[in-house]
Chain A
């Protein structure tokens, strides 16, 4: 069964460092998303991406965040200068049509120390 894959599964970084989280969405999907979940809190939307551009972003997705689809398969989230409060699980999701079910990757646990 096709699945969304994310790497790494766990990343530890020092405050102020840049991190790149990677995702390979399901191959025929067209809409890609990043969500995050701080421990004990709800899943929060960060950004959506369609047709090689950002289609929607939340207030959380400020200038320290960026997304890119560098080739036909990968979808990345970059955090330029990490802060302690960026520590969370980051989930990539994708679907092939709007307003349909989205499938989530297994997540990357980011720990900023």
Chain B
């Protein structure tokens, strides 16, 4: 069974701080990695994707990928209360097309 693991949280950070969300995956051949945000009762909303080792920045968000350690992370700078949501890490394994999701990390940004 190919697993995607995330700490369920909740992760609580004060407004303006950096939130760091982590994810590990078991399928070493995975090539594509995604971060989705999900508000309660809503559908997953894409934040970022990353394919290569290293960092990828988009506005306040930075995704980091380390394939050797099978680790992907998401940093959110200048966190806002509106960032409070569940963050889903998703991986496409080398052998398939579908997203394999982790259980998600709940983030709470306090004013």
A and B are partners in one complex rather than unrelated chains: yes
Chain A residues within 8 Å of B, Cβ to Cβ: 31, 33, 35, 41-45, 48, 50, 55-56, 58, 89, 91, 93, 98-107
Q: Which of A44, A56, A106 contacts B97 (CB 8 A)?
A: A56
Q: Are A106 and B42 in contact (CB under 8 A)?
A: yes
In the complex, 28 of the A-B residue pairs with CB atoms within 8 angstroms, ordered by the A residue number, are A42-B101, A42-B102, A42-B103, A43-B44, A43-B90, A43-B99, A45-B98, A45-B100, A48-B96, A56-B96, A56-B98, A58-B98, A89-B41, A89-B43, A91-B43, A93-B99, A99-B32, A99-B51, A100-B32, A101-B46, A101-B49, A102-B46, A104-B36, A104-B43, A105-B43, A106-B42, A106-B43, A107-B43
Within 8 A of A (CB), among B4-52: 31-32, 34, 36, 41-46, 49, 51
Summed over the interface, the residue pairs from A and B with CB atoms below 8 Å come to a total of 57
A47 CA / B59 CA spacing, docked (Å): 33
Q: How far is the CB of A110 from chain B (nearest CB, A)?
A: 14
Verify if B85 is at the interface (C-beta below 8 Å from A): no
**Chain B, interface residues (CB within 8 Å), range:** 20 to 34
- Which residues of B pack against A, CB within 8 Å? 31-32, 34, 36, 41-46, 49, 51, 88, 90, 92, 96-104
